[in-house]
Amino acid sequence: MDAAPHEEWRVGRLARVSGVSEAHFARSFKQAFGVPPHRYLLTRRVEKATALLRDTDLSITEIAFQTGWASLGTFGRTFRDVTGESPGALRVRERAVAQELGRVPACFLSAGHRPDLTIAVSEKRRKGARDTNGSEETEVP
C-alpha cells in the first residue's frame, strides 16, 4: 500500500494475499497500525498528493488521478476534509514555506505534516456539521 497508494487495495485483496480471512486481516491490521486499512491508505494518498502539490508543477487534476482518486471532486473534498485546506491553497502555502525551510531534512518535514486520521473522514464531516449548526444530527438507517 505504501509503494502503490494509487492502486485499489480492498480488504479482500489484502486478505487473500496474506492467506487469512477478511475479518482477521482487518482486525490484525488495525491492531498493528492503529487505523483500519482504508484510513491508512487514505493517509498515504493524501501524503503523496501533498508532496506532488509541493514539489511538482502537475495540475491538481493530474495529481488526483495519480494518487488514486477516480474524480477531481472526490479528491478535493476529501483532501480538504483531511488537511483543512484545498489542494490549491496547500500548494501556494507549501511553496512559500519551502523557501523558508530549505535546510530542514525532508523526513522531519514529512513527519510533521502527516495527516491525523484518528477518525474516519465521514465522522469528521458529521462532527463539523454538528459544530456548525450546534445541533446533533442523527443518521437514519
Structural domain boundaries in the chain = 11-133
Average pLDDT, the chain: 84
Closest alpha carbon to 113 in 130, 140, 93: 93
What is the mean predicted confidence (pLDDT) over 32-42? Answer: 92
Distance from the Cα of residue 116 to its chain's centroid: 9
Reading the block at residue 4, the C-alpha cell is 502503490
pLDDT in tens, 85-124: 999 999 998 888 766 656 667 676 677 667 766 667 777 7
Rounded distance, CA 77 to CA 81, Å?
A: 6
From the number of C-beta atoms within 10 Å of its C-beta (0-12, 13-18, 19+), residue 100 rates as exposed
pLDDT for 7:
86
Pick the CATH number of 11-133 from 3.30.2010.10, 3.40.50.510, 1.10.10.60, 2.40.50.180: 1.10.10.60
Q: Which pLDDT score, from 0 to 100, does residue 141 have?
A: 47
Q: Which one is predicted more confidently, 132 or 77? A: 77
Burial 48-58 (b: 16+ CB within 10 A, else e): bbbbbbbeeee
